[in-house]
Amino acid sequence: MMRCVAIVVLIVGGALGIPGVAQGVIEGTFDEHALARVGSDTFAVGQGRSVEIRSWASPNRVTQSLRGADAFVVSLASSPDGRLLAAGDKDGHLMVWEISSGRLLFKKYAHRFSVWSVAFSPDGMLLASGAFDGTVRLWDTKTWTEVGLFIEPRLVDAENKDRAHMGWVRCVTFSPDGRTLATSGCDGYVRIWDVDTLRLRREAIQAGINVYFVTFSPDGQYLGCVTNPGEIRLYRTDTWEEAVRLRSERVSGAGASSLYAMAFSPDGTRIVVGGFSKKVEVWDVASRTMVAEYAGHTDSIWGIIVFPDGERVVTTSRDNTVRLWRIAR
């Protein structure tokens, strides 16, 4: 496995006139999709068939290496208490580790193809997984048994009886109260599911050509997604009607405007996104304007996390680097 080398660079003078933006760069064979915040200072990244835990304070040092995957890890999620880390790999396996001991608690061939997204419920009692085969499954974290399969009735036919989306499921995410699961896929739809009944709360929302990421605002009032073409859309969760649509910078070329990742700031006032443009964009929800952008990646950004202070951001990219940013509040 390639030895990782950490390089820390201080950028003097930031994008859009913001001075003193600090950027750290970790080079390696990181997967662009597999990124998760673990604690107030730590994060996890996929490194081939292993998962590395690193800290903001010492990003060049691997504090924990979790092993047991048979294929490249492509999705990660930490439990709300920071005790467990779930992962999906390209062969369809779902895995869960106890972070402190590095012990592999659960491993199962859960989907027919790559598991592109995993998410814990807010109370940590459930784990959702979504995959390339269009399926979304629900798991009990005490027994590690499957307790739910989300099925879109309009997609059921003689060959496909278990699909939530027509093809690739890109993201699964729980609402803050844990009662709702939102999923998105390369069929261009966002689907809203009742966790208890496993049924749709409303008809699917067509949000773009592809919907790469979906997440709830911290207060649960909005559901956000990013798409191809490069749009940020917010839907009110009381009506599920579109409330906000923001347009990212457009770059020439097919699919060049696509956004692949997003995260709300802890107070919900800002949205951080990344995609084909290779830039980290920061948007203010109230004014509906982009207030900052940061360049540095040399290929598309696919992963973004924001730490609880709202200033520290970590991104992963197809350029095989992990970058650390300190953004202006």
- Helix ranges restricted to H, the chain: none
In this prediction, residue 328 has a pLDDT band, given cuts at 50, 70 and 90, of confident
Our count of domains for the chain comes to 1
pLDDT of amino acid 249 = 57
In this prediction, residue 271 has a pLDDT band, given cuts at 50, 70 and 90, of very high
Could you tell me which residues come within 8 angstroms of residue 248 by beta carbon, excluding any fewer than 6 positions away? 230, 231, 232, 257, 259, 273, 275, 277, 281, 290
Does 83 score more than 50 pLDDT? yes
Does 255 score more than 50 pLDDT? no
Average pLDDT, the chain: 89
Q: What is the mean pLDDT of residues 129-140?
A: 96
The CA-CA-CA angle for residues 223, 117, 208, to 5°, reads: 50
Q: 34-60: b or e for each residue (b if 16 or more CB lie within 10 Å)?
A: bbbbbbeebbbbbbbebbbbbbbeebe
pLDDT above 90 as % of the chain: 81
In this prediction, residue 135 has a pLDDT band, given cuts at 50, 70 and 90, of very high
Rounded to 5 degrees, φ, ψ at 256 are: -70, -15
Does 254 score more than 70 pLDDT? no
CATH number at residue 126: 2.130.10.10
* Distance between CA atoms of residues 223 and 117, nearest Å: 17
Rounded to 5 degrees, φ, ψ at 97 are: -115, 150
pTM score > 0.75 for this model?
A: yes
- The domain of 260 spans 5-326
Each residue's pLDDT tens digit, 86-122: 999 999 999 999 999 999 999 999 999 999 999 999 9
